[in-house]
């Protein structure tokens, strides 16, 4: 029987545990940060903090807040921890503990301490081999997984056998998983789409409608295309589901925490107040700074990123600069 370790107790962690347990040949270990939460899940088969309606088979699930024994007991690790906490979680663990393991990222952000996407961080800090690494992306919201609505995932790896095996593992009645070899493009898109969802939320609160949002999203996918082409130039179709589809669902959906965060900023909330009201982490908050700094190297034209960065990190009210920003779109 295959075993997987899911690291992260949020909504996406809960959703991925649910998906894995749909396969009767899989057992799951699950690391969550708080001991009281792990005890509750073991006793009741549900997460008391996220997606509480999801019922989990505790006969094939072991939940713990003790990380190192779980890592040592598993060959397949799926990281779902918010990017802001990845460094503190993994940096103290010696790279020898990850030797020979398959590591999958479902993280939608940049490691703030190193300004790296998760794959690059794991390659450099943990000596993970590229063939042992994979990326899970959408377009997919955890809330719809909980409702078992038909959803699509993308699993990206340069190792075709690994990609095919993971697609088979993740597929179930309501999940269809497509393979990709583009670990950089899919992961960077998963980071940037959160920044653009913040922009969508801000503009919606400022009174811009669906007509404008269509222009914003079409500009955003072109911005994504320019940036990932600069970072990792290969032949890729950014109109595909792993790129444009993931952007669309994050920019439009009621479940998008990044859009919600942006909507608060557009209403005049301070960044600190908006973050305090959020029940979950807004990955786009961290990504806006990290990608903005990365772009100092690549110098790609990214007016949407610059707009979000100015509001969040330079303290410029969105209402004051939105007209200059919209004039840059086409």
Query: Which CATH code is given to the segment(s) 2-181?
Result: 3.40.50.720
Q: Is 259 within 8 Å of 269 (Cβ atoms)? A: no
pLDDT confidence bin for 66, thresholds 50/70/90: very high
Residues 304-323 pLDDT 10s: 999 999 999 999 999 999 99
Q: What is the pTM of this model?
A: 0.94
Residues 211-252 pLDDT 10s: 999 999 999 999 999 999 999 999 999 999 999 999 999 999
- The predicted pLDDT at position 224 comes to 98
CA nearest to 198, candidates 116, 269, 282, 141: 282
Residues 152-168 pLDDT 10s: 999 999 999 999 999 99
- The predicted pLDDT at position 281 comes to 80
CA distance 328 to 310: 15
Residues 92-104 pLDDT 10s: 999 999 999 999 9
- The predicted pLDDT at position 21 comes to 98
CA nearest to 89, candidates 117, 123, 128, 126: 126
Q: Where are the domains of the chain?
A: 2-181, 185-326
- Examine the pLDDT at 1 and tell me if it is beyond 80: no
Distances (CA, A) of 278 to 45, 139, 194, 257, 265: 25, 22, 15, 8, 12
Q: What's the angle, vertex CA 58, arms to CA 57 and CA 64, rounded to 5?
A: 130
Mean pLDDT across the chain, nearest whole number? 96
Is the domain defined by 185-326 classed in CATH 1.10.1040.10?
yes
Number of alpha carbons in the 13 Å side-chain half-sphere of residue 180: 26
Average pLDDT over residues 98-118: 94
Are 2-181 and 185-326 the same fold in CATH? no
Average pLDDT over residues 99-115: 94
CA distance 223 to 321: 19
For residue 187, what is the enclosing H or E element? helix 183-205
211 class by beta-carbon count within 10 Å (0-12 exposed, 13-18 middle, 19+ buried): exposed
- Examine the pLDDT at 279 and tell me if it is beyond 80: no
- Walk across the sheet containing 133-137 and list its strands: 61-64, 26-31, 2-7, 76-79, 102-105, 133-137, 151-156, 175-180
Is the preceding peptide bond at 293 cis, omega within 30 degrees of 0? no
- The predicted pLDDT at position 17 comes to 98
Q: Is 28 within 8 Å of 70 (Cβ atoms)? A: no
Residues β-bridged to residue 110 = 117
Tokens 């997460």, residue located: 47
Question: And the tokens for 191?
Answer: 């980071």
- Examine the pLDDT at 254 and tell me if it is beyond 90: no
């Amino acid at each position: 029987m295959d075993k997987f370790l899911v690291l992260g107790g949020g909504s996406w962690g809960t959703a991925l545990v649910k998906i894995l347990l749909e396969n009767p040949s899989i057992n799951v270990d699950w690391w969550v940060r708080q001991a009281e939460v792990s005890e509750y899940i073991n006793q009741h088969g549900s997460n008391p903090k996220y997606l509480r309606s999801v019922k989990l088979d505790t006969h094939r699930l072991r939940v713990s807040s003790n990380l190192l024994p779980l890592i040592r007991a598993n060959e397949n690790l799926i990281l779902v921890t918010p990017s802001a906490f990845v460094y503190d979680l993994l940096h103290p663990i010696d790279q020898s503990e990850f030797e020979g393991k398959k590591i999958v990222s479902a993280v939608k952000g940049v490691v703030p301490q190193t300004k790296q996407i998760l794959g690059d961080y794991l390659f450099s800090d943990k000596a993970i081999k590229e063939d042992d690494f994979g990326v899970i992306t959408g377009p997919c919201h955890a809330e719809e997984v909980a409702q078992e609505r038909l959803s699509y995932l993308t699993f990206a790896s340069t190792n075709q056998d690994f990609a095919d095996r993971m697609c088979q593992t993740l597929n179930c009645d309501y999940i269809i998983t497509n393979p990709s070899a583009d670990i950089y493009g899919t992961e960077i898109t998963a980071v940037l789409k959160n920044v653009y969802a913040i922009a969508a939320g801000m503009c919606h609160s400022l009174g811009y409608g669906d007509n404008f949002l269509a222009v914003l999203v079409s500009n955003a996918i072109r911005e994504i295309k320019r940036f990932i082409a600069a970072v990792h130039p290969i032949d890729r179709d950014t109109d595909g589901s792993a790129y444009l589809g993931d952007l669309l669902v994050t920019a439009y959906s009621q479940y998008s925490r990044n859009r919600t965060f942006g909507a608060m900023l557009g209403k005049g909330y301070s960044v600190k107040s908006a973050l305090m009201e959020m029940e979950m982490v807004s990955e786009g908050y961290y990504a806006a700074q990290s990608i903005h700094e990365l772009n100092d190297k690549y110098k790609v034209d990214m007016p949407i990123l610059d707009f979000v960065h100015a509001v969040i990190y330079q303290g410029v009210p969105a209402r004051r600069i939105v007209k200059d920003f919209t004039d840059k779109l086409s």
